[in-house]
Structure 1
Amino acid sequence: MKHLIFISLLLFVSILTTAQPSFRLDTIYANDQKNVALFFPEPIRQGITGSENFVFTYNREKGQYFGLLQAEPGKESNLLVVNRNGSVFSYIIKYREQLTKLNYFIPMSSSIGNERPIANDSLEVANSKSSIANKHRYYDRFCSYLLDRKQRIGRLKKRKEGVALSVENIVFDKDELYFVIQITNNSSLDYDLNFLNLSIETRQKGKKKSLQKCKRPSKCIFYENRVGYNLAV
């Protein structure tokens, strides 16, 4: 019995790198003669200075939007402010005799993060799941397009015990490599497509030449046969 199976195989070759964002803290100057006012987008729930020569006062009961900063001569320190909604703000604070600025209106974009990482993590997980679902839909559509395209690059074919495997096309798209493979079963047995093992073979230069194989996992397998369509990830 003859079976034809067309496979559009995506070999994942892209490299993803993630980096933690770095924050450059702004500097606020204060002295012991004037009040420096800091206005925040949400009421202040907590304000802490890192040194005793700096004092940050705010209304703890009513939760006002502004706080007052004063300083005595000494080494620089830092100010950490948490708003009622969990937004965190951090600044370097220094003593200066002559002040050029007495009022700071701080936007929400100056926040370095939120004290509630669970909510942020949940949002990131939801966004990640949505992104993965979109990728799977793209793989499905693009692989189907490659199968319908029926473009061939040449005769790359192997046969064994009545089963022939040929590479019909190789396509590079968005840092990812796609292989279109046709499997023909001319044997008397019915075979189901279970898995494909892929590897990259490299040959070392020099007098003693040797071959090295490196297995590469597939990101997505989309295949069409006489029954219908299936997508395996």
Structure 2
Amino acid sequence: MYSKYLFTLIVFSTIWTNGHGQRALDTIYANEHQNVALFFPNPIHKAVSGHPDFIFTYNREQEEYLGLLQAVPGNPSNLLVITTDGKVYSFHLVYAKTLPVYNYFIKIQENIGTLRPNQNNENLGTKAMDSLTKQQKTYKDHCSHLLEHNTKSLVTKRKRGLRLRLESLTYHGDEVYLVLNIKNKSGIDFELGHLAISVINGSKKRRASSQEIPLDMVYTYRQPHSVQTGTYQRFVCVAPKFVLGYKEDLKVQLWEKSGSRTISLLVRK
């Protein structure tokens, strides 16, 4: 989990902050249906979002002033952008079905700081990105290894012709790997929307007093866009390391993208 934010942490450690401290982050709303455009006063040098639910695209080959943001339903996150003049901009990201604004024109006064002088920022950013790439390769290799083996079913849930199964839950380093299997016998193709993993803390008999704590997904491997009727798909989700305590359950829930069907399962302690 630490390596996912390595680039962000390194950048913040090399920033001179403006004024008397960092200002409150501006909130930008995005969804999967429209592009939200961000225009910066100087070309974008590097940018990274805090979670893959938010996708920020910009021209990596030729530095330009424009970046485009899209999102899928999920938890709020953040966006960090560095422009060619060394200015650093940070934003709070939130998913919204209806967007209040489609275009944001960022002023230079909105930066939260400037990269320290005499730092080899290009090498710094390259090392951070290289580290992130290596970590993603580690995730991919381990996920691939898990899918090569047929595992037993830990928990299975059936609903309206859909079957969601947790085949294995393994710990590796600072992450937990969940092998999931979804089978569709409903007669209608199931297009995957949002997948959520959370820990439920509270009495099993008195759910009204329970607390549901969402877990951010670190990485997903071979998560399908849809499961055609009469078929099944196996994929892996990687989450930050957790250990279920007394009276705690793990909840995995899956929503249909363009429909009302949902299916969820509980892993009980």
TM-score in terms of structure 1 length = 0.44
> Which structure has more RCO (C-alpha within 8 Å, separation ≥ 6)?
1
TM-score in terms of structure 2 length = 0.39
